[in-house]
Amino acid sequence: GLNFIDLMVRQGNIDNPPKTPLVPGFECSGIVEALGDSVKGFEIGDRVMAFVNYNAWAEVVCTPAEFVYKVPDDMSFSEAAAFPMNFVTAYMMLFEVANLREGMSVLVHSAGGGVGQAVAQLCSTIPNVTVFGTASSFKHEAIKDSVTHLFDRNADYVQEVKRISTEGVDIVLDCLCGENTGKGLSLLKPLGTYILYGSSNMVTGETKSFFSFAKSWWQVEKVNPIKLYEENKVIAGFSLLNLLFKQNRSGLIKSVVDKLINLYNIKKIKPVVDSLWALEEVKEAMQRIHDRGNIGKLILDVEKAPTPLMANDSTETSEAGEEEEDHEGDNENKERMPFIQ
């Protein structure tokens, strides 16, 4: 699976970035080839999906058994690679942190991305949940049925939400950070929960730009604890990778994966796969995420041969446009800021 965190790792926009040489990637699916002496519950030949603390973008991956889960018979390997990060993150935020219940409302950014689509699907399992989503305008037609109210990511979504729900929303899921932090907090109802689970605005067009990185952080509104107290609002953060690899909560994550697999088996949820890419096409695949051109998850497929067309333009084989509202889908006349130089 290819995630936005992988772009942040590449640019060094994370706490304690790893030293090179490095194989990126945090989730994968495949067939068990070998077992450690003390491993129980798995056999060679099992179809599995797993979390990995780096090194997932490879033909052979080694990870502790506590981070490995069996894949349902009717789930494809590409779906399985798209499943762990997005759905566990969405489930934990909605049900473990924000306590989503019947009749609540949720605002989610990047509604067309992997986590955004997982959030929308999980919200649909609870009666009468209203989902407000922001996404690039060219994605609206494809994802309009998955959310209740959809707004252009460049529009004044705060006023749009308040026009529909004057009190605001119960849950804000923010993967953008920057100026959106203050906007999200302002939209919370009393007893509402704001959750920061990413900071994709920290990823800049340049290969590396400390100035752009710092500018994004300066846009973050300073949180006043007294104001939270007076307004009865909750602010939270969520990092699945830290929960797994630094805070040793693999048992909790396994129970969540079990619940999610049950939901998959009864056809309540299903991973949305945007596209498959060969390992040699990782540059173009990362560019597609950077341009926010994907609807659902991008997958690196070790058995896929590179597609010559994609070597020229990562969006030519798909009809995804760029972020600007003008000339949607017209990629020929635009200057693209290369993510990898």
Q: Which tens digit of pLDDT belongs to each residue from 126-136?
A: 999 999 999 88
The pLDDT of 295-309, averaged and rounded, is 87
Q: Are 204 and 211 in contact (CB under 8 A)?
A: no
For residue range 160-215, what is the model confidence (pLDDT) as tens digits?
A: 999 999 999 999 999 887 777 888 899 999 999 999 987 655 555 544 445 555 55
Q: Give the pairing of strands 188-196 and 169-174.
A: parallel
Dump pLDDT digits (tens) for 23-39: 999 999 999 999 999 99
pLDDT bucket at 217, cuts 50 / 70 / 90: low
Provide the pLDDT for residue 329. Answer: 41
**More confident site: 311 or 273:** 273
Structure-block tokens of residue 22: 């490095």
What value does the mean pLDDT of the chain take? 84
Delimit the domains of the chain by residue range. 4-209+218-300
Q: How confident is the model at residue 106 (pLDDT cuts 50, 70, 90)?
A: very high
CB 168 within 8 A of CB 130: no
**Rounded CA gap, 247 and 297, in Å?**
26
What would the pLDDT profile of 74-86 be if each residue is shown by its tens digit? 999 999 999 999 9
CA 224 to chain centre: 28
Cβ atoms < 10 Å from Cβ of 137: 17
As a whole number, mean pLDDT of residues 218-232 equals 77
Biggest CA–CA distance in the chain, Å, is: 60
Above 90 in pLDDT, residue 63? yes
pLDDT band at 328 (very low <50, low <70, confident <90, very high): very low
Q: Assess whether pLDDT exceeds 90 at residue 226.
A: no
Calculate the alpha carbon distances from 87 to 81, 208, 257, 330 in Å.
Answer: 11, 30, 8, 32
Which CATH code fits 4-209+218-300? 3.40.50.720
- Global pTM? 0.84
Q: What one-letter code names the amino acid at 230?
A: E
Percentage of the chain surpassing pLDDT 70?
83
Strands 27-31 and 130-135: unpaired
Look at residue 338 and tell me whether its pLDDT is greater than 50: no
Cβ(12)–Cβ(294) below 8 Å: no
| Mean predicted confidence (pLDDT) in 281-292 | 90
What per-residue confidence (pLDDT) applies to 331? 39
pLDDT of res. 324: 33
List residues bridging with 47 in a β-sheet: 31
